[in-house]
Structure 1
Amino acid sequence: MSEAGGVASLLVLFFHVLVFSGVVDSATFTILNQCAYTVWPGILSNAGTPQLPTTGFALQPGQSNAISVPASWSGRLWGRTLCAQNATEGRFVCVTGDCGSPTVECSGSGAVPPATLAEFTLDGANGLDFYDVSLVDGYNLPMWVVPRGGKGGNCTATGCAADLNAGCPKELQVDTDGGGASVACKSACEAFGDPQYCCSGAYSTPATCKPSGYSEFFKQACPTAYSYAYDDGTSIFTCASADYVITFCPSPSSSVKAAGDPAPTSNSSAPAALIALQTSASNRTRLRSRPFVAPMALAAVWQLLQLLSI
């Protein structure tokens, strides 16, 4: 092969590497705390999915954190509340949503119920993201998920914007000091361990496990959230190539109108930070990362330079 032909071949290789090698779509999860108190988000990847670079951190009121999530990621996200460093053991502990980790990072551990969960499977069947907000493991704080910039699927906002702790049935309440103030609301399964509430044993199929009075309490307050294990029809949503804004304690302007709820107010009453996040997300397509490009591209460039120096 001539020198010119070799140079041309290497140039073709170089551009093929840049264009085709290791290009991975990713989504951005913008996690926003609109609560009047600190929330410590926790993140758990499902089995077979690598853990994200961060699995736990603190968000002060009004703060947000944007995380790049790789394509085909699946896992869950939740909020921890009433957290502190244990003075005697030096462990990081939370009253609700604790993940059992001694540090702020959950490092592969999930939430101890009760906890409100946002669940995601990105780039699933037909290239769609599947997502939901689940109260199957109980509830500890309001959470809302809004897809932005998506194309395909229904791309519906979902979650539970209601404060369920105040109206939680007495037998489901988590009352830490006996004063009657509930900081979380258990599922009936956790509270009683009965198979009919847990959809287990003889109740392990959609035909045998039906909504209970307790699951209806969750469903009536939060119509688009999972209220029990087989609540798929009204609780799972799809979108494609979207970014997601996950808000703790959403204001009416960041949620959608549910049956019987007053209409949301305009965005003019929303915090400036939320407006900026939503505008940014709606104008953004999926980020592109090339984790495997650099080594191959550098090798091609080095070979090209060697030929040119001859």
Structure 2
Amino acid sequence: MPAKGKHRRPKSSSSLTRGFVAAGTGGAALALPLIGATGAHAAEKGAAPVALPQEAPKAQLPQQRTALPQQVAPAAPAAAPSAASAASAPKTDTRTYSVVSGDSLSKIAADQDVRGGWQKVYGDNKKVVGEDPSLIFPGMKLTLGGKTPAAAEQKASAPVPQQQRTERVERTEQRTEKRTENRVEQRSEKRTEQRTESKRQTQRSGFSAPVPSGVSTPYRASGGSWSSGYHTGVDFRASSGTPVKAVAAGTVVSAGWGGAYGNEVVIRHNDGRYSQYAHLSALGVRSGQSVSGGQQIGYSGSTGNSTGPHLHFEIRTGPGYGSDIDPLGYLRSNGVPL
């Protein structure tokens, strides 16, 4: 029997210096080390309690989020141009215009309704027109309605200093003088070529035209101006004082006044035909004189029954009036181009 009043602690079968307490959490065992005590009295002496682990937090599953497509707001429609801005917008349709006689850039701009006026037309076509906007020619091709760079438009619309205007006028006058000189030279060269060709023809065939000009009244033209009722020769255009030449070699039959024919010369040629030259202002040969083809025999005029300066020319089978034949046919048959 135990002693009265005394308590005895039963001795454990085995002393644990270190032990493990297993705490179950959701079926999982967690082994925790315990600090061993030599006796149960350690708890009574105020040993620090051992904190048991609390329930382990549940594993957090990642939240699956489905990204919903965001609705894109439709773009706002572009504002339609106002009627005022559309009306003020310049025309952009490009077209080609051919300059005609009497045109100017300002007239073309007004007639063709070009916004920007002549400055716009000039800016679009400066390479074609050149430095002088007032110098355009018939047949020149201009582009209307094209898009001109702003700098070119400003330059074209800028006021031209007086010195530049003077220089432009001088250049224009120089170009005009040059063109005039070229035309004069071309006409002179053409006349020289015609005279040279006439001499060659005379040397080849011995025949030539009486004057280097065209016909104003043909042979056999009818009318009351002639006593026979028709024209017995041809009239060549010739101003007063134009040299008149013998169409072929021959002998002068008559040289003097011929009534309605005024001053005239009649020549008998080697083939038996006669040529007449009437309304002369002056005579250069006398009766009985021998002449060669192409030799000058007088000057054209308007003597006798004449309405103005010209040369009346006939070819006859005899020396007198009424034996006429086609004068142009005669000259052409002898190699004279008319």
> What TM-score comes out, normalization by structure 1 length?
0.23
> What TM-score comes out, normalization by structure 2 length?
0.21
Structure of higher CA gyration radius: 2
